[in-house]
Amino acid sequence: MRHSREHALSEDRSKDPNDQQRGDGLSRRSFLSRGAAAAVTLPSMAAFLEACSKKDTTGGTVGTGPAPTATFSVASPENPVKWPIFDDNKPIASGLTPEQNATLNVYTYVDYFDKGAIKSFEKKYQKYNVKVTLTTFEDTTEAIGKIRTGGVQADIYNPSYDQIGKMVTAKLVQPINHDYIPNIANVWPTYTNPFYDQEWQYTTPYVLYGTGIAWRADLVSEDIAAMSNPYDIFWNAKYEKKMSVLDDYRTCMGMVLLRNNLSVNTYKAEDLDLVHKQLSLLNQTTKPKVNVTDYTDVPTKIVSICQAWAGDAVNMVSYMPQGQSPDVLRYWSPTGNENMTDNDLLVLLKESKAPVMAHLLLNHMLDYEVSIGTFSFTGYQPPQNKITPEELVSSQFIPKNLASAVVLQKDWESGQHLLELPPDVDSQWQAVWQQFKAGA
């Protein structure tokens, strides 16, 4: 699992063959997006749990039985959710002294947490002799399982939106005391009241990821960004076996839906049938690779065009072979409602033994300089107010030709988010994807 967030912009790491391996297989984004972007609303959670109290044997496949969807609803921009704060799980009091000799454990993806941020945090609070350790997971399913069973004792965790409702209800996370996190002022105001956690009671934002198309201008004659429907390029037989799509069912199928001006969270069988047909056609016409190594495949000319997360496009720069200019790289993503942008989160786990210090670490991660370090390390952009395409280009953080890979607040606010799907709908999606990946 894995993908370009695991590839820092350092030269040394870009030459490490292990990086390529780490880039292979299932991505963090896969799981992030598999669950994607939402949560079960609390009013319906009790009913949902009740509905689910019987064993579900749907198997996650089409036509394998009814799923408990009657009371299932998801958080969305149109249906924002404010999670409850339980009497036995309240935020810590304000003004507490940070714990002495604490060791904070951050449970995160491999290479997803900048070690520079850890060093600066330990230095900042050295009078408290704080240490920060990292424990990593491959996917959030594995992570949740270990948190639930106590297999991993951590203070801070990197969930996806869809896990928030489940974690709040199961009291795996603790609410945040905002007094300890003044740096929230550094990030887009929308994150003080995001749809998936109204009034940011349990979450702070981490990094953003938009989705679009990356290509090499020296190998692709078309100006993809200027095409009436840029996604059509994936069905252009001229580029047979010269392209890749992301190995993430929500993101890739979402691309097909966007191509047809449909919702990326569709429940409609006819929409999924259309996706199925167009993916089959894709397999026949251009035979794309399905992977998450586009950030190396484009620089090394294994493919000329790819579906890419914005962070992948940024990371491509550091993977360009010696002597080749990144000026040939291009990135396009749609704007407005056709944009597909999401973000990762940080939460404080209920079992934290040093909750005050953990709050301080959450605050530290929202610091501008620390966030820039995170951006540099992961390639993914924190939603900092000060980060703009102009500023990143002028500071030579990214080349001008990739300025379009910077995610804007308006894109996040107006774009579509990959929301959690009810189990039976999700099974339908998975079945289409399974067939596509089987090469049938």
- Determine the straight-line distance between the first and last CA of the chain, rounded to whole angstroms: 23
Q: Which residue stretch of 88-96, 311-319, 375-383, 432-440 sits at the interface with other proteins (rule: CB under 8 A)?
A: 432-440
Closest separation in Å from C-beta 345 to other proteins: 18
335 binds other proteins (CB under 8 A): no
Which pair of structure tokens corresponds to residue 32? 């992030």
Which one, 27 or 183, has the nearer CB to other proteins? 27
> What part of residues 157-186 is at the interface with other proteins (CB under 8 A)?
166, 170
Sequence letter at residue 38:
A
Closest separation in Å from C-beta 149 to other proteins: 11
Out of 25, 98, 116, 389, name the contact with other proteins by CB under 8 A. Answer: 25
Q: Is the dihedral of CA 366, 372, 376, 381 positive or negative?
A: positive
Q: Is the dihedral of CA 67, 69, 75, 81 positive or negative?
A: negative
Q: Which residue stretch of 93-101, 106-114, 238-246, 395-403 sits at the interface with other proteins (rule: CB under 8 A)?
A: 238-246
What element of type H or E holds 375?
Answer: helix 368-378
15 binds other proteins (CB under 8 A): no
Contacts of 415 (CB under 8 A, 6+ apart): 210, 336, 337, 338, 339, 340, 341
Q: Do 382 and 206 meet the contact criterion of CB atoms below 8 Å apart?
A: yes
Q: Which residue stretch of 109-117, 137-145, 197-205, 343-351 sits at the interface with other proteins (rule: CB under 8 A)?
A: 137-145
Q: Which residue stretch of 63-71, 96-104, 335-343, 403-411 sits at the interface with other proteins (rule: CB under 8 A)?
A: 63-71
Contacts of 5 (CB under 8 A, 6+ apart): 28, 29, 109, 111, 112, 207, 311, 378, 379, 380
Closest separation in Å from C-beta 106 to other proteins: 22
Tell me the site size for other proteins, rule CB under 8 A: 56
Q: Is the dihedral of CA 233, 236, 239, 244 positive or negative?
A: positive
Which one, 263 or 324, has the nearer CB to other proteins? 324
**Eight-class DSSP state of 173:** B
Sequence letter at residue 287:
K
**Cβ-count burial of 351 within 10 angstroms (0-12 exposed, 13-18 middle, 19+ buried)?**
middle
Closest separation in Å from C-beta 379 to other proteins: 21
26 binds other proteins (CB under 8 A): yes
Residue showing tokens 């958080």: 75
108 binds other proteins (CB under 8 A): no
Out of 91, 210, 288, 373, name the contact with other proteins by CB under 8 A. Answer: 288
Q: Which residues bind other proteins (CB under 8 A)?
A: 1, 17, 20-21, 24-26, 30, 34, 49, 51-61, 64-65, 68, 139, 141, 144-145, 166, 170, 241-242, 244, 283, 287-291, 293, 300-303, 321, 423, 426-427, 430, 434-440
